[in-house]
C-alpha cells in the first residue's frame, strides 16, 4: 500500500514513512492510494469475530509492506486488551468506545500508533519527538499510549481552561517522557501550532518530529476496526452485555429493544469535531462493512453540516460548548474526506445535523430517566442528532441505529452530575484523578512553541 498527500497525488510513500512523518511535506495529509476490500469470508464473519481479529484484518492491507503479519498480530493483541461492545439502549444501540485505559475512543488509535512506531523504529538511535494538539481526549490517550516507550517523547498542546480537570490530569499528569503545554487560545490554535512546527524545516533539521493527531494516518486506520465490529454485530442482529465500564444504573427498568432485525445495514451516528473519527468510518464502509448511512452530529460548530447542506465549505472560529472535544471550526480531516469523496458523494452517505447545548442537556436527562443510562455530552449530541433526523423524516427508522459513544460520562461529571447525579467512575479514571498537573503555559504563537521545543 502506498500513500500520497491530499495536496499532491504524484509523490507516494510507504506506510512507515507516512506514519513517522505525520504531516506530508507540502502540509497535506497522507491518504492511502486505494481503500482495500475485506475478503468475503471476513465480511460474513464480522458479527461473530473477536475484536482483535477484526482489527488485524482491517489494518493488515494498509501496513503489510512494513509490518509483517506476526508483528501485527502481536501489536493488535497488545493494544486491544479491551473491545467496543454494542450495547442496547432504548430504541438504538451505544457503540461503547470507552473501555480502554483513558475511557475514550482515542485509545484505539493511540495504542496502535505507539506500538507500531516502536516496531518501525526498532533499529533507530535518534530520539523521536511526537507533537499532538488536543481538545480533550486525544492528549490523554496519546500520553497513555506512549508513556514510557523508549526513544520517543511526547509534547501535548491543549487549550488552557477548555479541557476538564480530569482530561488535564490525563494529559499533564504522567511525567517522564510526556510533557504538556497549556496554550492561551483555542484547539484550532493548538492545531495550527503543531502543523507549523511540523512544517518548519529548521526545526526538523534539529530533531526528528512526528504527529499523533488524527492527521497521522497510523492513528486513523485502526479506528475503522470498531466501525466494522459494530456494523457486523448490528447486521447479525446481535448486541453485547453491559461491560465493567458501561454507565448504567442497576435499579432502572430493563431496556426495551425495539429494533433488532438481521440483514439491514446499520446507521451509525458519529459525534464529530475534527472529523478523523468519521473518516475512519468511511474507510470501514468502503472496505465492505455493512454500513448504510452515517450521521455527522456536531454541536454549534457546524462547519461540515453546513457544507453538506450548501456545498460551500466555510471554516470559522470555534465556539466553546459543553461538548468541548468537538469545538472545532476548521476540522483538519475534512481534507481527507474531500480527497476521497465529492460533495455529491458525501451527501449520499452522510447526513449532517447540529445540536445545541440546551438540547444536549435535555437529552442527557431524558435518556437517563428512560433507561438509567448515562450519556456524556458528546454522545448526547449524537443521540439527539439521530432523534432530530427521525423527527424530520430524513432517516430510515427501520435500520438499526448505533451512536458512537466516544467518552465515558465520568470524564464530564461537571456537566453530567448537576443534571442526573454522579455517573459511575471506572477504575482507570479514579486513578487518573489522583495525578498532579504539571504543564507549561505558552501563548498561541509558533515561535513560543519552537522555543519551548
For 137-177, the pLDDT digits (tens) are 788 999 999 998 888 999 999 999 998 888 899 999 999 99
Give kind and range of the element (H or E) at residue 268.
Answer: strand 266-271
Q: Across residues 22-39, what is the average pLDDT?
A: 93
Contacts by 416-424 with C-beta closer than 8 Å and gap 24+?
Answer: 416/364, 416/374, 416/375, 416/376, 416/377, 419/361, 419/364, 419/365, 419/368, 420/364, 420/365, 420/368, 420/369, 420/374, 423/247, 423/374, 424/247, 424/249, 424/374
- Measured over the CA atoms of residue 230, residue 89, residue 321 and residue 159, the dihedral's sign is negative
Q: Across residues 243-267, what is the average pLDDT?
A: 74
Higher pLDDT, 390 or 25: 390
Domain boundaries, the chain: 77-104+217-432
In this predicted structure, which of 118-127, 239-248, 363-372 has the lowest mean pLDDT? Answer: 118-127
Domain over 77-104+217-432 is classified CATH 3.40.50.920: no
Q: Which residues are catalytic?
A: 106
Phi first, then psi, for residue 11 (nearest 5°) are -105, 120
Phi first, then psi, for residue 361 (nearest 5°) are -65, -45
pLDDT of amino acid 251: 55
341-390 pLDDT, tens digit per residue, is 999 999 999 999 999 999 999 999 999 999 999 999 999 999 999 999 99
Contact indicator for 95, 405 with CB cutoff of 8 Å = yes
pLDDT of amino acid 254: 46
Binning pLDDT at 50, 70 and 90, where does residue 260 land? Answer: low
Amino acid at each position: 500500500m502506498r500513500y500520497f498527500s491530499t495536496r499532491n497525488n504524484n509523490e507516494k510513500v510507504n506506510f512507515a514513512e507516512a506514519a513517522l512523518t505525520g504531516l506530508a511535506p507540502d502540509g497535506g495529509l497522507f491518504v492511502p492510494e486505494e481503500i482495500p476490500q475485506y475478503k468475503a469470508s471476513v465480511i460474513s464473519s464480522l458479527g461473530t469475530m473477536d475484536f482483535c481479529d477484526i482489527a488485524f484484518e482491517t489494518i493488515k492491507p494498509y501496513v503489510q509492506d512494513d509490518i509483517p503479519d506476526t508483528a501485527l498480530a502481536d501489536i493488535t493483541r497488545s493494544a486491544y486488551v479491551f473491545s467496543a461492545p454494542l450495547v442496547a439502549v432504548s430504541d438504538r444501540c451505544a457503540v461503547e468506545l470507552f473501555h480502554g485505559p483513558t475511557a475514550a475512543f482515542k485509545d484505539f488509535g493511540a495504542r496502535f500508533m505507539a506500538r507500531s512506531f516502536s516496531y518501525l523504529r526498532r533499529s533507530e538511535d535518534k530520539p523521536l519527538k511526537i507533537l499532538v494538539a488536543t481538545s480533550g481526549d486525544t492528549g490523554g490517550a496519546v500520553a497513555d499510549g506512549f508513556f514510557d516507550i523508549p526513544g520517543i517523547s511526547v509534547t501535548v498542546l491543549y487549550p488552557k481552561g477548555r479541557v476538564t480537570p480530569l482530561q488535564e490530569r490525563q494529559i499533564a499528569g504522567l511525567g517522564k517522557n510526556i510533557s504538556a503545554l497549556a496554550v492561551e487560545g483555542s484547539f484550532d490554535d493548538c492545531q495550527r501550532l503543531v502543523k507549523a512546527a511540523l512544517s518548519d524545516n529548521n526545526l526538523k533539521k534539529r530533531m526528528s518530529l512526528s504527529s499523533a493527531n488524527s492527521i497521522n494516518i497510523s492513528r486513523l486506520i485502526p479506528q475503522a476496526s470498531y466501525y466494522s465490529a459494530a456494523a457486523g454485530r448490528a447486521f447479525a442482529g446481535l448486541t453485547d452485555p453491559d461491560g465493567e465500564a458501561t454507565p448504567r444504573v442497576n435499579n432502572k427498568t430493563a431496556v426495551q429493544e425495539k429494533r433488532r432485525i438481521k440483514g439491514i445495514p446499520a446507521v451509525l451516528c458519529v459525534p464529530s469535531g475534527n472529523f478523523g473519527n468519521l473518516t475512519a468510518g468511511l474507510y470501514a464502509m468502503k472496505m465492505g462493512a455493512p454500513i448504510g448511512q452515517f450521521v455527522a452530529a456536531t454541536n454549534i460548530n457546524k462547519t461540515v453540516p453546513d457544507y453538506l447542506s450548501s456545498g460551500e465549505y466555510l471554516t470559522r472560529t470555534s465556539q466553546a460548548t459543553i461538548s468541548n472535544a468537538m469545538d472545532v471550526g476548521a476540522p483538519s480531516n475534512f481534507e481527507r474526506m474531500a480527497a476521497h469523496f465529492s460533495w455529491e458523494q458525501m451527501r449520499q452517505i452522510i447526513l449532517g445535523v447540529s445540536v445545541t447545548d440546551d438540547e444536549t442537556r435535555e437529552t442527557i436527562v431524558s435518556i437517563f430517566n428512560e433507561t438509567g443510562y448515562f450519556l456524556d455530552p458528546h454522545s448526547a449530541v449524537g443521540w439527539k442528532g439521530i432523534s432530530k433526523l427521525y423527527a424530520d423524516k430524513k432517516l430510515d427508522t427501520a435500520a438499526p441505529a448505533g451512536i458512537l459513544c466516544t467518552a465515558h460520562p465520568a470524564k464530564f461529571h461537571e456537566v453530567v452530575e448537576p443534571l442526573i447525579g454522579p455517573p459511575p467512575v471506572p477504575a482507570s479514571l479514579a486513578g487518573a484523578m489522583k495525578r498532579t498537573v504539571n504543564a507549561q503555559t505558552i501563548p498561541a504563537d509558533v515561535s513560543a512553541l519552537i522555543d519551548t521545543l
